[in-house]
Amino acid sequence: MTDIRKSLTEKAKAMGWKVSAAQADQFQTYMELLLEWNEKMNLTAITQPEEVVEKHFLDSMTLLAWPKLKQGAKVIDVGTGAGFPGIPLKIMRPDIDLTLLDGTMKRLNFLGEVCAALKVSARRVHKRAEEAGLDKTMRERYDLATARAVASLPVLAEYCMPLIKMKGHFIAMKGPGAEQELEEAANALETLGAGEPEVLSLSLPGGEERKLILCQKLRFTPKGYPRHGGTILKHPL
């Protein structure tokens, strides 16, 4: 299996982040497990080690560019899939209290094995995002809800905003079309309790543009949200 430690460390450094030798080992193990499990189940279409570094690991690390993630923050990764961005964030910020939310048990089993191998702790919750938002033990409990490659912004806002506590943040990880999505999501964000969103622009070492859409929660999410999953998709706010 390709050794990605040196390449990952150098590319992260170019983006302003220091990856220790121990963290590089964790990323190496994570990649090996990802590619091994991917032969049995569909976790990722990206299977070249260097692409995993750039498009999964460094892409997930772009969250580190946001300076307001406090020590011990409660973070939920909504629709985590193969663990992005949650697990790379936890490797880089072991202090966070991480919850990985996914509707597919097989993926969560994979993530259980990853967490054990990397010796990181994360809660794994088997629920759809709209179920989590209605669960009293999860609603308005998190400092940060984030998601990557899950849905369009109006839909994503309805999945994530109900989970965030007052003054907490929702960060949507997007590519170059973020501004267009923001326009389409203005009503959803307003309805669900977000303040004026900000956009943080970054580039990956390979030149691909990334945008973090930052939304702070300034009002409680009204009772009727999130709606049923099918309704959210068919009739976005």
Tell me: the pLDDT tens digits for 26-57? Answer: 999 999 999 999 999 989 898 899 999 999 99
Query: What's the confidence (pLDDT) of residue 178?
Result: 87
Domain that holds residue 132: 71-234
Q: How far is CA 149 from CA 29, 43, 54, 166, in A?
A: 23, 13, 15, 25
- The rounded distance, in Å, linking the Cα atoms of 187 and 33 is 41
- The answer as to whether 7 is a domain residue is no
- State the sign of the Cα–Cα–Cα–Cα dihedral 111, 55, 19, 77: negative
Does 18 map to a domain? no
Q: What is the number of structural domains in the chain?
A: 1
Q: How far apart are CA 226 and CA 212, in angstroms?
A: 22
Binned at pLDDT 50, 70 and 90, residue 101 comes out as very high
User: Cis (ω within 30 of 0) for the bond into 226?
Assistant: yes
Q: Is residue 136 part of a domain?
A: yes
Do residues 217 and 167 make contact, with C-beta atoms less than 8 angstroms apart? yes
Domain annotation covers residue 226:
yes
- Report whether pLDDT(209) > 80: yes
Give the Cβ contact number of residue 163 at 10 Å: 27
* CATH code for position 152: 3.40.50.150
User: Is the residue at 221 inside a domain?
Assistant: yes
Separation CA 110–CA 204 (nearest Å): 27
Q: State the pLDDT at residue 179.
A: 87
Secondary structure element (H or E) that encloses residue 113, with its range: helix 105-118
Q: Measured between alpha carbons, how far is 30 from 12 in angstroms, rounded to an integer?
A: 16
In a domain, 171, yes or no: yes
**Is 9 part of a structural domain of the chain?**
no
pTM: 0.95
Q: Contact, 189 vs 197, CB < 8 A?
A: yes
Mean residue pLDDT of the chain comes to 95
Band the pLDDT of 151: cuts 50, 70, 90: confident
In a domain, 190, yes or no: yes
